[in-house]
Amino acid sequence: MKRRDLIRSAGLGLAATTLAAPAIAQSAPDVRWRLTSSVPKVLDAIFGANELVAKYVSEATDGRFTIQSFAAGEIVPGLQALDAVQNGTVEMAQTPLYYYLGKDPGFACFTAMPFGLNARQQNAWFYHGGGRELQDEFLSKYGVVGFLGGNTGTQMGGWFRKEVKDVADFKGLKFRIGGIAGQVVAKLGVVPQQIAPGDIYAALEKGTIDACEWVGPYDDEKLGFVRVAPYYYYPGWWDGGPTMHFVVNQAKWNALPKSYQAIFEAACAYANSDMLAKYDARNPAALRRLVAAGAQLRPFPVSFLDASYAATTELYAEIGAKNAGFKKITDSLLAFRNEEYLWWQVGEYPYDGYMIRARTKG
């Protein structure tokens, strides 16, 4: 090769390298997001999901895409997390969607429905039963995109100052209870209270409320409810598989490179499975400690469960008659639930039931 040709070839190679750099930079921009959560940091199993997503997103993009997490109240109150995403105060939020049923009862369907899906069924419906498509259609009306971000598993029924033995004992009871379940128990004479997580203990201690539900042993121990309300009821039939969501501003999501979107979604999926694993691993020891501290375990009276189931069925019909979107979602969800329990009746429940009986026999 002649010297002149060599220089020309080298020059073309340098030019190609120079031209390639901006293209790479454009495909991997620096993105800085803020996240506001609906929970305080003390609830580490839930808040920790934010840190997991931020960690994997940052590591997979060599630090080009970072997410800074803020607890409830640091930017906006916990019950205003969705609003903060909608109006652009933050790019994303961690929140249970049923906090916003005041905007539309359809929000409740994607977190937990009374007598609805358990944790595994919730994931199955979302990923493979049409739930995601329904959620995307629903949330698009609010300018946001939603991703599953964790599940606590079936929750406890809550902490009560006094023992309840029949449906009549619930009448007039001031009960902190989230989501559409508040409307169900209102039909039974309960006075539902919507209170943010960080404010529940103070309300219970002062007697502003008579009972509260939150999550389960691991979180309830942290919040100290056993000190002011000794009766610990189960199961939380309104939260069979309650799902936390990561909610992202639609415009911010659309602006992300496809590679960042894929990384973000994969990180959310990991956080979704990790949260449930944490609760399953930590709840048993926490329950033992709570009982040692004075918690008195009680099953809800069957009469209360039956009355609640009937009230739930009635409420769904009432809301569905006025809200076609809600009916469309619940028709899908409840049909999926009924089909799932066909399998649970044959596979999961007999196995779990036998293992529970075998454990008690030693």
Question: How many structural domains compose the chain?
Answer: 1
- Is pLDDT larger for residue 125 or for residue 25? 125
Res 19: pLDDT: 43
Within a domain: 171: no
345-362 pLDDT, tens digit each: 999 999 999 999 999 887
Within a domain: 223: no
Q: Which residue has the tokens 């033995």?
A: 165
230-269 pLDDT, tens digit each: 999 999 999 999 999 999 999 999 999 999 999 999 999 9
Within a domain: 329: no
Mean pLDDT on 290-300: 98
Res 4: pLDDT: 46
Within a domain: 173: no
Q: What is the CATH number of the domain that holds 53?
A: 3.40.190.170
Within a domain: 313: no
**In terms of DSSP H, where are the helices of 323-361?**
324-346, 348-361
Q: Residue 310: pLDDT above 70?
A: yes
Within a domain: 260: yes
Res 195: pLDDT: 84
DSSP 277-325: HHHHHHHHHHHHHHHHTT-EEEEPPHHHHHHHHHHHHHHHHHHHHH-HH
Within a domain: 187: no
38-70 pLDDT, tens digit each: 999 999 999 999 999 999 999 999 999 999 999
Q: Which domain, by its residues, includes 142?
A: 28-151+241-281
Q: Which amino acid is at 291?
A: V
Res 26: pLDDT: 56
Stated pTM of the model: 0.89
Within a domain: 160: no
